[in-house]
C-alpha cells in the first residue's frame, strides 16, 4: 500500500474512534463541569449568610493549642483548674479580645451532656488561666475554651477526667419547657429547625406564679446560649439577636439532637435551663 493511502486509512480510523467516544459520552450524561451554573461553580467568599464553622472538636487549630496543667480531677472537691493557650512556637498567648464582656469563656460538660458549667477564669501574670472548679460526678468531661484572638473567634477543646465509675444518663427527649435552677419555668419556641438553615430560638421565662420575667443584662445581652451536638459535642457559636430578650439565631450544621444551655440573670443571680433540640 502506498504511503499516502496508509495515512488516509489511519486518519479515517481515528475519526471513527473519536466519533464513537463522543457518542458514548453523550449516552452516559452531560459534562458535569459545563452544566454547573456559574454562580455555583465556586464558593462566594463574600457570602455574609454562610454559617459559622463548627468548633470545639480539636485541641489545636489555626496555630493555637490548649494545654491543661492537670486533666485529672478529684470528685466532689473544689480544685484549681489551670490551662494556657499556646502559639505555634509553644509560647503562651497573652493577648485576647473582649468577647461578650470577657476575654475567656470556659465551658464544661460531661460526655453525656450533664454537669454543664460556664466559668470565667482569671488570667495570671504569665498568661495562663485559672479558675476554681468542682465536679461532683465521675466520668469524662469536655472542656471548651471559647475566646477571640486577633479578631478571630476560637474554640479549642480537650478532655478532663474525674475519678470513679461514671453513671451516664440518656439524653432527655425534646420538650418545649424546662425548669431552671431557682424554679423558673422556661419555654422554647424554635419551630421546625432544619440543618443548614438559621433557626430563631426564642425563650420565654416565667416566675413561680406564672408571671413573665424580664431578664437582666448578662454578658451584654438578655441571656447567653451554648449549643452542643450530641455524640461528638461539637460547639456551636450562637448569636443573640436581641440585647434585651433571650432570643438567639443558630445554624445547626447537621440533622440530629443538640443540647441547648440557656443562662439568664434575674435578681442578681445566674440561672440555667437545658433543652434537647431535634434538628432534621
Count the neighbouring beta carbons within 10 Å of the beta carbon of residue 20.
Answer: 10
Residues contacting 148, CB < 8 A, separation 6+: 96, 97, 98, 99, 154
Give the pLDDT of residue 245. 87
- Return the C-alpha cell found at 255: 440533622
pLDDT, position 104 = 98
pLDDT, residue 35, reads 35
Compute the distance between CA of residue 188 and CA of residue 126 in angstroms, rounded to an integer.
43
d(CA 204, CA 214) in angstroms, rounded, equals 9
Grid cell, residue 30, equals 452531560
Per the document, the length of the chain is 280
Q: Please report the pLDDT score of residue 97 as a whole number.
A: 97
Beta bridge partners of 206: 185, 212
Q: What is the pLDDT of residue 18?
A: 37
Tell me the CATH number for domain 60-162: 2.60.40.1930
Please check whether the two domains, 60-162 and 177-279, share a CATH topology: yes
Residues with pLDDT less than 50, the chain: 1-49
Q: What is the CATH superfamily name and number for domain 177-279?
A: Immunoglobulins (2.60.40.10)
Tell which residue, 110, 100, 166, 104, has the closest CA to residue 138.
166
Residue 57 DSSP label? S
pLDDT (0 to 100) of residue 13 = 42
Q: Where are the domains of the chain?
A: 60-162, 177-279
What are the backbone dihedrals phi and psi of residue 109, each rounded to the nearest 5 degrees, phi first? -155, 140
pTM: 0.80
Distance between CA 100 and CA 85 in Å, rounded? 19
Amino acid at each position: 500500500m502506498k504511503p499516502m493511502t496508509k495515512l488516509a486509512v489511519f486518519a479515517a480510523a481515528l475519526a471513527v474512534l473519536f466519533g464513537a467516544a463522543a457518542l458514548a459520552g453523550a449516552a452516559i450524561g452531560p459534562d458535569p463541569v459545563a452544566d454547573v451554573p456559574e454562580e455555583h461553580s465556586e464558593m462566594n467568599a463574600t457570602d455574609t449568610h454562610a454559617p459559622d464553622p463548627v468548633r470545639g472538636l480539636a485541641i489545636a487549630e489555626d496555630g493555637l493549642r490548649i494545654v491543661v496543667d492537670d486533666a485529672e480531677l478529684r470528685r466532689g472537691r473544689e480544685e484549681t483548674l489551670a490551662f494556657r493557650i499556646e502559639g505555634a512556637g509553644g509560647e503562651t498567648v497573652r493577648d485576647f479580645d473582649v468577647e461578650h464582656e470577657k476575654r475567656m469563656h470556659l465551658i464544661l460538660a460531661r460526655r453525656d451532656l450533664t454537669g454543664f458549667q460556664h466559668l470565667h477564669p482569671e488570667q495570671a501574670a504569665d498568661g495562663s488561666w485559672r479558675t476554681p472548679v468542682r465536679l461532683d460526678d465521675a466520668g469524662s468531661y469536655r472542656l471548651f475554651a471559647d475566646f477571640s484572638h486577633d479578631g478571630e473567634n476560637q474554640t479549642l477543646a480537650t478532655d478532663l477526667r474525674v475519678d470513679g465509675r461514671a453513671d451516664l444518663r440518656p439524653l432527655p427527649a425534646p420538650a418545649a419547657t424546662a425548669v431552671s435552677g431557682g424554679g423558673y419555668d422556661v419555654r422554647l419556641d424554635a419551630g421546625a429547625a432544619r440543618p443548614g438553615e438559621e433557626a430563631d430560638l426564642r425563650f420565654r421565662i416565667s416566675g413561680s406564679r406564672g408571671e413573665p420575667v424580664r431578664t437582666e443584662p448578662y454578658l451584654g445581652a438578655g441571656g447567653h446560649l451554648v449549643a452542643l451536638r450530641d455524640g461528638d459535642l461539637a460547639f456551636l457559636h450562637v448569636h443573640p439577636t436581641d440585647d434585651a430578650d433571650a432570643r438567639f439565631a443558630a445554624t445547626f450544621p447537621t440533622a440530629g439532637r443538640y443540647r441547648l444551655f440557656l443562662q439568664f440573670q434575674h435578681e442578681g443571680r445566674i440561672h440555667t435551663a437545658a433543652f434537647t433540640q431535634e434538628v432534621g
